[in-house]
Amino acid sequence: MKGVRGRPSPLNNHTSTILKWIKDGHTVAEIVKLCATELGIGTQESAVRNLFKRDFKLREAWEQARLYRKAERVVNGEAEAAGVTRVNEDIIIITGEPGKRVDELQIEDILKRRGMEPNEWQVKQVLDNQWEANAGRDPETLLPVKITLFQYKIWMTRKVPLEIVYPAVVGPKIAAPKKPDANKPQLTVVVTDPQNPFRYEELHQLFLRWLAHNKPDRGIVGGDLLDNGYISQHRDDPAWHRTVQQCIQASFDSLYDYRNASEDTAWSVIKGNHDDRIRNEQLERNERLYGVTAAQWPGEEPEEWVYSLNHLLHLKRLGIEYVEPQGTYEHQQVPITDLVAVRHGHMTGKDASIKTAEALGHSIILGHTHRQSILRKTRWNTIARTWHVITAIEAGCMCQIEGGLGYASGGAPDWQPGFATIVSWPDGGYSFDLACFEQPGVLRYRDQVYSL
């Protein structure tokens, strides 16, 4: 109620609360309403203004707020419009009203008004934009009055649901492969980008028949054994959503099939960018536990990192060599001869494979692009009058190509399913071949044809 002459106003007991309302940018009319709803005191605007006159702190804060609102009107065009901007399915930006602070309750209310569940989002970054504004002139000194305006922007990201990852479920033990005869030509097969669990099932079955028939001395998985789309930077697509656990199990199952189809083939596995997503996810969200292993048993070799592919896919039990990169995947390779190596690859675009080979100074077999090609370039030494040929092979892919796994624009990618082989001789020479998968379910390799 309004203060009675000779009696103190009930507002006097709540100056700290009213001071906060002023600093939060509330008008006199809004303060009158807050007094009624928050304090249970019925009052009028004149009583609030009289309180400002009596209390120095309130008067000073109100004058500052008045100047601020005046400046805000002057520089209204400089501030961004308040609201919510959706960058993509997983990132939003909340822009506050100029001069008003944003707390958790306001954020929750903003999200709910837009039909979004607050528990699904987390604050990633807060930016306090500040700038100087002209608030006119002081009525007594006529000097320009400058004031600092501010506006909050809050970046929020969608929370990633907790997923517990276990090693793959194993099958019966497989005998270790025999060592090939180094005095004879050796056949090596290179498969890349199966992106399990999205392997091309028809191609997978025909490849197992190819393995059983040709029994290569060596096999190399050139990266992207797992898809791991669930922990990528791409927008989640329900059509291609698979958990990390599903990717792990499907990858193990594919390797287990390879080993059973040709038990004497010695296999090696290297990482690709999709495989590296498990490492990146832990470094992004749980970096202090990165590299944790089980305790070392006395007299035995150290255990593998809990989330290494060696551990998750039981590669040692499968008799498969895992080539762990020092850091990220880009620079890891498996030599086949002194002149040829297998890498996953990290470049795309025209002639990316031969540019990589030229930069490395030797021939390579690559994945990553999901394409098949053979490019060759002759390197000359005109002083010694010698030359040699560098070859770059794009091995293709072992994954589905219809729909582009949700990554390719338009869903009709320029990908070629298949794999590559290399025959290396004891004298260091080598030759390449591509195995091409075609519709309706035909695999062609040299003079061999496999069909469903």
| 82 and 104 together in one domain | yes
Domain of 69? Answer: 11-74
| 141 and 35 together in one domain | no
Q: How far apart are CA 433 and CA 419, in angstroms?
A: 9
Does 120 map to a domain?
Answer: yes
Please count the helices (runs of H) and the strands (runs of E) in the chain: 11, 17
| 40 and 152 together in one domain | no
Structural domain total, the chain:
3
| 86 and 58 together in one domain | no
| 48 and 108 together in one domain | no
> Residue 417: what pLDDT?
97
> Residue 4: what pLDDT?
47
- DSSP sequence for 373-403: EEEEEEEEETTTTEEEEEEEEEE-BSB--GG
- Closest Cα partner for 310 from 232, 358, 255? 255
- DSSP sequence for 175-191: PPPPPP-TTS-EEEEEE
| 247 and 390 together in one domain | yes
| 374 and 434 together in one domain | yes
Does 321 map to a domain?
Answer: yes
Q: How far apart are CA 195 and CA 410, in angstroms?
A: 19
Does 338 map to a domain?
Answer: yes
Does 179 map to a domain?
Answer: no
- Given 28, 50, 74, which residue is the final one in a domain? 74
395: domain CATH number is 3.60.21.10
| 133 and 195 together in one domain | no
Structure tokens at 115: 């039909």
Does 3 map to a domain?
Answer: no
| 386 and 417 together in one domain | yes
364-402 burial, b at 16+ Cβ within 10 Å, e below that, comes to bbbbbbbbbbeeeeeeeeeeeeeeeebbbbbbbbbbbbe
Q: How far apart are CA 439 and CA 259, in angstroms?
A: 26
| 148 and 43 together in one domain | no
Does 367 map to a domain?
Answer: yes
Does 142 map to a domain?
Answer: yes
Instruction: Provide the residue count of the chain.
Output: 452
| 56 and 82 together in one domain | no
- For the chain of 452 residues, list the mean pLDDT of each consecutive stretch of 10: 59 90 87 91 90 86 71 52 74 74 69 80 76 64 68 76 68 80 93 96 97 97 92 71 91 96 96 91 82 85 85 92 87 93 91 92 95 94 92 96 84 93 93 94 96 90
- DSSP sequence for 136-160: EE-TTT--EEEEEEEEEEEEEEEPP
| 397 and 260 together in one domain | yes
> Residue 234: what pLDDT?
67
How big is the chain by its Cα radius of gyration, in Å? Answer: 34
- Given 28, 54, 74, which residue is the final one in a domain? 74
- Given 19, 42, 74, which residue is the final one in a domain? 74
Does 171 map to a domain?
Answer: no
How far is CA 142 from its chain centroid? 57
